[in-house]
Amino acid sequence: MNYTVRITADRIMKVITQKQSELAVGHVAELLKRDGSMQTQTVQEWLDVAQLHPAQFPSSLPALETLGLLGFGNTLVHAEKPG
C-alpha cells in the first residue's frame, strides 16, 4: 500500500511500508552478493566503495545510488553468504 502526500506544489513525498523497505534492502544485498561482496555495511559505506570502483559493482551500484537518494544511507545491508 503506497500513499502519496503533497508537501508543496512541486514536491511529493511517497510513504513506503516497512515490508517494502526490507524488500528493497534485501534486493540490494542479493545484488551485492552477485557482485562478489560478502560484508555488512551501511548503504552509504557500500555506495562510497562502489562509486570508487564501479566496475566491481555492476549489478548493485544503481540500486545503492537509488537507496542513497531515498534516504537509506544509514541502513545496514547484510551481503554475507548464508551459513
How distant, in Å, are the alpha carbons of 26, 28, 53, 62, 69 from that of 56? 19, 15, 6, 12, 21
At residue 79 the predicted structure's pLDDT band, cuts being 50, 70 and 90, is confident
In a domain, 7, yes or no: no
Indicate the number of domains in the chain: 1
pLDDT in tens, 8-66: 656 666 788 899 999 999 999 999 999 999 999 999 999 999 999 999 999 999 999 99
Check pLDDT > 80 for residue 7.
Answer: no
| pLDDT for res 2 | 55
Domain extent at residue 56 = 17-78
In a domain, 70, yes or no: yes
In a domain, 5, yes or no: no
| pLDDT for res 80 | 73
SS3 content of the chain, % helix, strand, coil (to 5): 45, 15, 35
At residue 82 the predicted structure's pLDDT band, cuts being 50, 70 and 90, is low
Look-up of cell digits 511529493: 12
pTM of the model: 0.79
